[in-house]
């Protein structure tokens, strides 16, 4: 048995699989179990600020699961509203990214081969600069004495500044602005593989371009649409920076609430429960994304 194990360890294969496996298991999988555990404990004024959920004394193991955090979340409309607000925000900004991103990706995929690289570079370049800086840029544009208001006043479209910063509108603009490249990239990689002769055949047989789009282009780019949408939807549900900087008191999002519970109230158990519920809500989209991604990764095996 031990001899077998030593033999297995001496092989490069085991190491190639083992090293990333152990690392990810320890630093990605185990942490979720700890979050789950702490979500069932109660807050305490201590270091760390929560109580142990099990105790071993007098030869008996006592496990105390405190459901209070979950009950609190389901009873307090603040948390429910924050979840609904996040899901709504994520849904509509995904649709917006798709509506803007699809034609852009299509145009790049149909551009001459020599210029596709430059166009993709132009789309991706902003996302390699700082995320924070790109959100910050909109603070200067949307504020009451900001550029957009000044421009609209100058044109005469409005007579007094519009409140745009610290509203849901600003959050939408910020999300679409920062997440658009993540929608375009997977859309491009499926659209570029689309066989042009299919579209020609459809046109030759008398199909109108809109009909061709619905019947051929859209179904064949399903994989890219799913991947792009999930790359936008899932992170946006937990978004913290954008609602914090661009949103106002009415832009309630769960990432912001979780952050406040953790950093301001130091209530780690409630923060952990909020994270567990968020994860439960996202399990379906994450599985969808995972299926697409692992199919992409293992293609040709």
Interface with another protein, residue 107, by CB under 8 A: yes
Interface with another protein, residue 7, by CB under 8 A: no
DSSP E strand boundaries for the chain: 54-57, 60-63
Interface with another protein, residue 131, by CB under 8 A: yes
Helix (H, G, I), strand (E, B) or coil at 64: coil
Q: How far is the CB of 5 from another protein (least distance, A)?
A: 15
Sign of CA dihedral 244, 248, 250, 251: negative
Backbone region of residue 99 per phi and psi (left: phi > 0; alpha: psi in -120 to 50; beta: other values): alpha
Q: Which of 110, 193, 215, 222 binds another protein (CB under 8 A)?
A: 110
Interface with another protein, residue 128, by CB under 8 A: yes
Interface with another protein, residue 101, by CB under 8 A: yes
The nearer residue to another protein, 69 or 143, going by C-beta atoms, is 143
Residues 257-276, mask of contacts with another protein (x by CB under 8 A)? -xx--xx----x--xx--x-
Backbone region of residue 166 per phi and psi (left: phi > 0; alpha: psi in -120 to 50; beta: other values): left
* CB-based contacts of 99, cutoff 8 Å, min separation 6: none
Interface with another protein, residue 123, by CB under 8 A: yes
Alpha helices (H) in 111-167, listed in sequence order: 113-128, 131-142, 147-155
Interface with another protein, residue 203, by CB under 8 A: no
Interface with another protein, residue 286, by CB under 8 A: yes
| DSSP at 156 | T
Number of residues that bind another protein (CB under 8 A): 92
Residue 80: how many other CB atoms lie within 10 Å: 14
The nearer residue to another protein, 105 or 168, going by C-beta atoms, is 105
Q: How far is the CB of 129 from another protein (least distance, A)?
A: 5
For residue 27, is the peptide bond before it cis, meaning its omega torsion is within 30 degrees of 0? no
Q: Which of 145, 159, 197, 264 binds another protein (CB under 8 A)?
A: 145
Residues 158-177, mask of contacts with another protein (x by CB under 8 A)? -------------------x
87: nearest Cα among 256, 231, 281? 281
Q: How far is the CB of 142 from another protein (least distance, A)?
A: 10
Give residues 230-249 in contact with another protein (rule: CB under 8 A): 230-231, 234-235, 237-241, 244-245
Q: How far is the CB of 165 from another protein (least distance, A)?
A: 10
178: nearest Cα among 231, 121, 104, 219? 231
Binding segment for another protein (CB under 8 A), chosen from 73-81, 156-164, 195-203, 288-296, is 288-296
DSSP E strand boundaries for 125-233: none
Work out the burial of residue 284: count CB atoms within 10 Å of its CB; fewer than 13 is exposed, 13-18 middle, 19 or more buried: exposed
Q: Which of 118, 158, 198, 201 binds another protein (CB under 8 A)?
A: 118
Q: Which of 139, 162, 216, 220 binds another protein (CB under 8 A)?
A: 139
H-run or E-run covering 185:
helix 168-191
For residue 48, is the peptide bond before it cis, meaning its omega torsion is within 30 degrees of 0? yes
Give residues 14-43 in contact with another protein (rule: CB under 8 A): 16-17, 19-21, 23-25, 27-32, 34-35, 38
Give residues 50-79 in contact with another protein (rule: CB under 8 A): none
């Amino acid at each position: 048995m031990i001899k077998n194990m030593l033999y297995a360890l001496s092989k490069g294969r085991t190491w190639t699989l083992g090293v990333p496996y152990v690392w990810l298991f320890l630093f990605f999988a185990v942490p979720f179990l700890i979050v789950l555990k702490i979500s069932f404990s109660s807050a305490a004024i201590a270091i760390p600020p929560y109580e142990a959920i099990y105790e071993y004394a007098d030869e008996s193991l006592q496990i105390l699961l405190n459901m209070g955090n979950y009950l609190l979340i389901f009873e307090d409309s603040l948390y429910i509203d924050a979840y609904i607000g996040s899901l709504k925000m994520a849904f509509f900004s995904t649709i917006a990214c798709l509506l803007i991103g699809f034609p852009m990706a299509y145009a790049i995929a149909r551009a001459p081969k020599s210029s596709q690289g430059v166009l993709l570079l132009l789309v991706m370049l902003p996302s390699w600069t700082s995320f924070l800086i790109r959100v910050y840029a909109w603070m200067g544009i949307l504020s009451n004495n900001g550029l957009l208001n000044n421009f609209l006043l100058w044109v005469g479209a409005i007579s007094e500044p519009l409140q745009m910063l610290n509203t849901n509108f600003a959050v939408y603009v910020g999300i679409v602005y920062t997440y658009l490249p993540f929608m375009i990239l997977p859309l491009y990689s499926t659209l570029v593989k689309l066989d042009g002769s299919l579209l020609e055949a459809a046109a030759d047989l008398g199909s109108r371009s809109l009909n061709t789009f619905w019947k051929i282009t859209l179904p064949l780019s399903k994989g890219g649409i799913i991947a792009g949408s999930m790359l936008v939807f899932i992170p946006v549900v937990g978004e913290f920076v954008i609602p914090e900087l661009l949103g106002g008191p009415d832009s309630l999002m769960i990432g912001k609430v979780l952050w406040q519970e953790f950093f301001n109230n130091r209530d780690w158990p409630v923060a952990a429960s909020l994270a567990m519920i968020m994860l439960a809500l996202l399990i379906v989209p994450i599985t969808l994304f995972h299926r697409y991604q692992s199919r992409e990764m293992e293609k040709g095996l």
